Amino acid sequence: MSGKGLRLSRISDHGTGRTFIVPMDHSVTTGPLGAADHADATVRTLADAGANAVILHRGRVRHVDPTVFARTGLIVHLSAGTNRSMDLNAKILVTSVEDALRIGADAVSIHVNVGSPTEREQLADFGAVSRECELLGMPLLAMMYARGPLRADLPSDSGELAHLAAIATDLGADIVKLDYCGDPDEMRRVVESCPIPICVAGGPSTRDGDDHAIALGAEILTSGVAGLSFGRNVFEARDPFAVASALARLVHSPAPAIELESA
Catalytic residues: 25, 145, 177
Interstrand relation of 92-93 and 79-80 (parallel, antiparallel or unpaired): antiparallel
CA atoms within 13 A on the CB side of 181: 21
Number of DSSP helices (H) and strands (E) in the chain, helices first: 11, 10
Non-local (6+) Cβ contacts of 155 within 8 A are 179, 180, 181, 182
Q: Is there a contact between 110 and 78 (Cβ–Cβ < 8 Å)?
A: yes
* Distances in whole angstroms, Cα of residue 169 to Cα of each of 101, 152, 177, 239: 22, 25, 11, 36
